[in-house]
C-alpha cells in the first residue's frame, strides 16, 4: 500500500466534514469515557514551561474533533470491525473481569452507537485501519456482529500517540501503571520527553518516577500483575527497587506463574511485593568469652554476619592475640584443607 501523504495538521483531515455540520448540538451521554480537562492540581509549573506550539495545535485539533463528534455522526463511514486493528500504542492493561464491559455491551446493543469511533488507515496494510479512540465500542460491535460508524483520519504515529496521551490525561479510570506504560510506549516511539510530559500533564519528576518503574519492572511482569487500580506510584516505586537482579525477577515471575494465582490485580501486586520484601531476619551479633585453664578471661569475641571483633582482657589477652597472629596462616591452611575434604 502506498502510504498516504501526511496532512499539514489533523484539522485539515476534517475540512470536508465541517461543511456537513450546520450547528453543534449537545451530545447525549455516551457509553465511552468523556474527555475532561485535567485536574488543575495535577498540573505543575514544569508542565506549563514545556507545553509548546506543536502540542497546543494537537490539543486544539482534538477539541475541534470533539465538536464534530458532539454534533453527531456526520461524515462518518460504516466499517466492518474485523478490518480494524488495535492502536499501536495500547493504553490499557487487561481488566480483572468482564462485568463492567457486559453492562456496556448491553447498553450498546439496546441504544445503538451514538458517537462514531476514530480510526486511521493502517500505515502498511491496504483496506485496514487502526483504532485511535473507541476501543470498547469496537469490541462491543465486533461481539454483536454489527458494523461500526467511524471517522477516518490521516494521522502519523507521533500525532496519534500524543493525541491519545492528551485524551488519557482526562481519563480518571486509568491506573498509575497504565499511564506509566503509555509514557513508555511514547518514549519507544521516539516521542520527545517534552511532548510526553505535555500529553500526560506531568512534570519532570513524575516522568523520572515513571521511567524508574517501567525500566526496572519487566513488561511481562507488569502485564501479569495487571491494572492494579488501588496501587499508586509510591508502591510501584518500592517494587522497582526490589527488582535489583535476575533472581528477584525470576522469583516474582514464579509467584505469578500460570494457574497459580487466582486473585484480582491489586492482590497480585501485593503477593509479588510481599514475596520480594520478605527477608531472612538478620543474624544477631553474639558475644563469646574465652578463658585460659585457670579461668582468667583472655578475650571477648563478637560475631555477626559481616564482622568478627575481639576485645582483649589484660596482659594475657594481649599475649593470646600475638599467638593468634603467629598461627593465622596455619589456621587458614587447615580451613582450606577441611573445605577440600582432605
Q: Which domains does the chain have, with CATH numbers?
A: 35-215 (3.90.1530.10), 225-278 (no CATH)
Write out pLDDT tens, residues 171-208.
Answer: 556 789 998 998 898 888 888 898 888 778 889 999 99
CB 151 within 8 A of CB 74: no
Q: What percent of the chain lies above the pLDDT cut of 90?
A: 24
pTM (two decimals): 0.56
How many CA atoms within 13 Å lie on the side-chain side of 83? 18
Confidence of residue 215 (pLDDT cuts 50, 70, 90): very high
Answer whether residue 83 shows pLDDT above 50: yes
Q: How many CB atoms lie within 10 A of CB 269?
A: 23
Beta pairing class for 129-133 and 84-85 = parallel
Confidence of residue 144 (pLDDT cuts 50, 70, 90): very high
Q: Answer with the residue of higher pLDDT: 169 or 220.
A: 220
Average pLDDT, the chain: 76
| Closest to 213 in 3D by CA, of 171, 188, 179, 162 | 179
| Closest to 214 in 3D by CA, of 184, 188, 186 | 184
Over residues 145-165, mean pLDDT? 85
The pLDDT of residue 214 is 94
- Three cell numbers, residue 221: 511482569
Answer whether residue 170 shows pLDDT above 80: no
Sign of CA dihedral 22, 160, 10, 123: negative
Q: Answer with the residue of higher pLDDT: 146 or 64.
A: 146
Write out pLDDT tens, residues 105-135.
Answer: 898 999 989 888 889 999 999 999 998 878 8
Q: Residue 310 forms beta bridges with which residues?
A: 301
Amino acid at each position: 500500500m502506498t502510504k498516504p501523504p501526511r496532512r499539514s495538521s489533523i484539522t485539515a483531515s476534517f475540512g470536508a466534514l465541517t461543511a456537513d455540520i450546520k450547528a453543534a448540538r449537545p451530545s447525549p451521554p455516551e457509553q465511552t469515557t468523556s474527555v475532561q480537562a485535567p485536574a488543575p492540581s495535577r498540573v505543575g509549573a514544569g508542565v506549563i514551561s514545556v507545553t509548546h506550539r506543536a502540542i497546543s495545535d494537537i490539543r486544539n485539533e482534538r477539541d475541534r474533533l470533539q465538536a464534530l463528534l458532539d454534533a453527531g455522526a456526520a461524515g462518518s463511514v460504516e466499517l466492518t470491525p474485523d478490518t480494524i486493528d488495535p492502536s499501536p500504542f495500547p493504553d490499557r492493561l487487561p481488566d480483572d473481569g468482564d462485568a463492567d464491559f457486559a453492562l456496556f455491551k448491553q447498553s450498546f446493543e439496546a441504544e445503538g452507537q451514538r458517537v462514531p469511533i476514530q480510526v486511521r488507515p493502517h500505515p502498511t496494510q491496504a483496506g485496514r485501519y487502526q483504532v485511535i479512540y473507541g476501543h470498547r465500542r469496537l469490541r462491543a460491535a465486533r461481539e454483536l456482529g454489527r458494523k461500526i460508524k467511524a471517522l477516518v483520519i490521516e494521522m502519523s504515529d507521533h500525532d496519534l500517540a500524543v493525541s491519545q496521551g492528551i485524551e488519557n490525561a482526562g481519563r480518571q479510570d486509568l491506573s498509575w501503571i497504565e499511564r506509566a506504560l503509555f509514557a513508555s510506549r511514547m518514549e519507544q516511539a521516539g516521542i520527545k520527553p517534552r511532548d510526553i510530559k505535555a500529553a500526560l500533564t506531568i512534570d519532570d519528576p513524575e516522568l523520572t518516577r515513571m521511567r524508574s518503574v517501567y525500566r526496572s519492572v519487566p513488561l511481562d511482569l507488569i502485564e501479569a500483575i495487571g491494572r492494579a487500580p488501588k496501587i499508586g506510584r509510591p508502591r510501584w516505586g518500592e517494587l522497582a527497587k526490589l527488582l535489583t537482579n535476575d533472581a528477584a525477577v525470576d522469583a516474582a515471575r514464579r509467584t505469578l506463574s500460570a494457574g497459580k494465582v487466582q486473585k484480582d490485580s491489586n492482590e497480585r501486586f501485593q503477593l509479588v511485593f510481599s514475596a520480594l520484601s520478605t527477608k531472612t531476619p538478620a543474624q544477631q551479633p553474639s558475644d563469646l568469652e574465652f578463658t585460659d585453664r585457670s579461668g582468667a578471661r583472655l578475650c571477648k569475641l563478637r560475631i555477626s554476619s559481616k564482622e568478627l571483633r575481639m576485645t582483649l582482657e589484660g596482659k594475657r589477652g594481649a599475649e593470646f592475640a600475638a599467638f593468634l597472629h603467629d598461627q593465622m596462616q596455619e589456621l587458614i591452611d587447615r580451613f582450606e584443607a577441611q573445605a577440600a575434604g582432605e
